[in-house]
Amino acid sequence: MINPSGVSLGAKAARLLARLGRAEIRPGLTEQELTGIEARFGFAFADDHRAFLAAGLPTGGAWPDWRHGNAAQLRSWLDRPVEDVVFAVAEADFWHPSWGTRPARQTDAVAGARAHLASVPQLVPVYSHRYLPAGQATFAHPVLSIRGADIIPYGYDLIDYVHQEFGGPQGRADEERHVVAATAAFWSDFLSWSNREG
């Protein structure tokens, strides 16, 4: 069941983006389009992300084109966070503690990481390399910025993210931003490791 608070949050974020005039907004995705995307790619949008895209579909530049985009490109975008973790395993010695002992050979470590990563929560692109966790009946997750082994929160929710990316700060002090943590399992640990590694 979709949470009304999540719908409200996503709709407010969409109105803010439209008001800022920093993206071309096309008619929002219909329920049929949204469920088709979810079936095609095997995930469910978080309630706020779903409402955001239903209120108006941002297009152009680094926005994923959920309506007319190339399926292979969208799949690559969806796979990128996991591929970035695999890169961190191969090149930066990342290894999640719950995975047990890291294999000595790099090829075995990469294969093991891929096997473990098959069960982590799906991240869904919002814009460029900014992501929200998937999951119906969830909302108000921090937006995560993931580039390679570098992961940071880029807004404590979708509204704050739109302010940060497109309209300037919402009035939160910079030091408060450091306490924002990922809410999705595994990704919060990867965020902690990335921050420790610098």
Question: Which of 55, 54, 45 is CA-nearest to residue 137?
Answer: 45
| Per-residue tokens: 81 | 């966070």
Rg, the chain, Cα only: 17
Q: What is the pLDDT of residue 173?
A: 46
Q: What are the counts of helices (DSSP H) followed by strands (DSSP E) for the chain?
A: 8, 6
> Considering the chain, what is the average pLDDT of its residues?
87
Which region, left, alpha or beta, applies to residue 42 given φ > 0 means left and ψ of -120 to 50 means alpha? Answer: left
Q: What is the pTM of this model?
A: 0.86
pLDDT of residue 177: 43
Strand partners, 26: 57
pLDDT in tens, 84-107: 989 989 998 888 888 999 999 999
- The letter for the amino acid at 145 is S
What share of the chain in percent tops pLDDT 90? 62
What are the pLDDT digits (tens) for 124-181?
999 999 999 999 888 888 999 988 767 888 888 999 999 999 986 555 444 444 445 5
At 97 the pLDDT is 84
Band of pLDDT at residue 187, cut at 50, 70 and 90: confident
The pLDDT tens digits for 26-47 are: 999 999 999 999 999 999 999 9
